[in-house]
Amino acid sequence: MAGSRLELIAPPAGRLLLVGPRATEDLQGFAPDDTVVVQGFRPDHDALAGRGFRVVPTPAAVPGADFAAAIVFLPRAKAEARARVAAAAARLAPGASLWVDGQKTDGIDSMLRDLRALAAVDEVQSRAHGKIMRLTVPQGDWLPADWAGAERVVGDGFVTAPGVFSADAADPASQALAAALPDRMPTRVVDLGAGWGWLSALVLARPGVETLHLVEADAVALDCARRNVTDPRAVFHWADATSFRLPDPVNGVVMNPPFHDTRSPDPHLGARFIRAAAGLLTGAGRLWMVANRHLPYEPVLAEHFAQVQEIAGDARFKVITATGAGRPRRR
Ligand SMILES: C[S@@+](CC[C@H](N)C(=O)[O-])C[C@H]1O[C@@H](n2cnc3c(N)ncnc32)[C@H](O)[C@@H]1O
């Protein structure tokens, strides 16, 4: 764990709960047999499970409550960070140790301030542009009830949860894509990176669709989508879109691909979504996607599709359609 803040701490013996570590986190110091990990992002979930940890997708799926200690890994979104702390605290008895680890850029300092106002913080260590802090869980209801992160209802009755993409309202880029979709959609469609289902709901509202596959890596977002899209034509996949495959090709893909992972911009992520879309489509099938205007997806689209056309957009976004998967203009 050299260089990791985790090597600065000494968790007590007994079962340990880790809430939200990414696969990049160095967890060598923790015994897989005694450690339960909450990680709902499928690629990280699978990588951590591959290292022998018992990994569950949501706090609700954590088995038991007899943990000696918990470590919360802070995400950038404040509401999600608080929800993680509340989820960990709910599994700890008074007297147990609760650690919170985070980068300055993820708000560890303001979390530390908030927690100091609620409980005695016993230890704070700094390293690598971040901090790890420990408190002893007090008796009683010590955390404000709203930290648990109630779900919300937005727009026309869509349920969202803290930390999911665009939790406050439909994303403007997705709205631009939806407005540019044809009146009639193909029969078999995939929504790659379906989030909480807003775009999928609009696709299903158009005639033509017989089956719509919602593919989403974030288990919490997909749970919201299951509640938001109750149409029997919808099929839900908790999966990494970049490696997602179906037994038979489809004739439509819609997507508003992510262009950064939770911490840093990743220009290759959208390119991997484009490759995956091409791999899912028949040659006559069609992709509709939206992207921020500055993102240079045209070369990778030309590598995988025969025809690529911008059909809508403005200064911020471009809506692109592409067909002829597997017959690229450029190899
Ligand atoms: C820009 S959002 C679009 C969400 C949704 N389609 C909408 O219109 O609101 C991108 C979505 O892709 C998901 N995502 C990120 N990486 C993913 C991956 N490797 N596989 C599947 N989904 C992923 C994110 O969790 C997020 O929900």
Cα 254 to averaged position of ligand 1 atoms, centre (Å): 11
Neighbouring residues of 3: CB distance < 8 A, sequence distance ≥ 6: 26, 127, 128
Q: Is the dihedral of CA 277, 58, 75, 8 positive or negative?
A: negative
Ligand 1 atom with the smallest distance to the CA of 174 is 8
pLDDT in tens, the chain (331 residues): 446 899 999 877 899 999 999 999 999 889 999 999 999 999 999 999 999 999 999 999 999 888 999 999 999 999 999 999 999 999 999 999 999 999 999 999 999 999 999 999 999 999 999 999 999 999 999 999 999 988 899 998 999 999 899 989 899 999 999 999 999 999 999 999 999 999 999 999 999 999 999 999 999 999 999 999 999 999 999 999 999 999 999 999 999 999 876 556 677 899 999 999 999 999 999 999 999 999 999 999 999 999 999 999 999 999 999 999 988 765 5
Cβ(256) to ligand 1 under 6 A?
A: yes
- Which letter, b or e, does each residue of 81-90 get, where b requires 16 or more Cβ atoms within 10 Å of its Cβ? bbbbbbbbbe
Check pocket membership of 200 for ligand 1, CB cut-off 6 A.
Answer: no
Ligand 1 center from residue 23 Cα (angstroms):
18
What's the CA-to-centroid distance between 179 and ligand 1, angstroms? 19
For strands 67-73 and 188-192, give the pairing.
unpaired
Nearest ligand 1 atom to the CA of 215 is 21
Q: Whose CA is nearest to atom 17 of ligand 1?
A: 217
| Identity of the amino acid at 20 | G
Q: Does the beta carbon of 199 sit less than 6 angstroms from any atom of ligand 1?
A: yes
| Residue nearest atom 6 in ligand 1 by C-alpha distance | 194
Q: At what angle do helices 78-90 and 108-116 cross, to 10 degrees?
A: 50
Q: From atom 19 of ligand 1, which residue's Cα is the shortest distance away?
A: 240
The pLDDT value recorded for residue 66 is 82
Give residue 216 CA to ligand 1 midpoint distance, Å.
Answer: 6
Q: Is the CB of 217 under 6 A from ligand 1?
A: yes
- 188 within 8 A of 221, measured Cβ to Cβ: no
What whole-number distance in Å separates Cα of residue 214 and Cα of residue 212?
A: 6
Q: Which of 6, 145, 160 is closest to 83 using CA atoms?
A: 145
pLDDT, position 263: 57
Q: What does DSSP assign to residue 280?
A: H
Q: Which of 271, 280, 278, 222 is nearest to 246 (CA)?
A: 280
Ligand 1, pocket-test mutation among 190, 203, 218, most atoms within 8 A of CB: 218
Closest CA to 251 of 201, 212, 216: 212
Query: Is the Cβ–Cβ distance between 269 and 258 less than 8 Å?
Result: yes
pTM value is 0.94
Q: How far apart are CA 217 and CA 212, in angstroms?
A: 16
Residue 195 Cα to ligand 1 middle (Å): 5
Ligand 1, atom 12, residue with closest C-alpha: 193
The end-to-end CA distance of the chain, in Å, is 42
pLDDT for position 150: 83
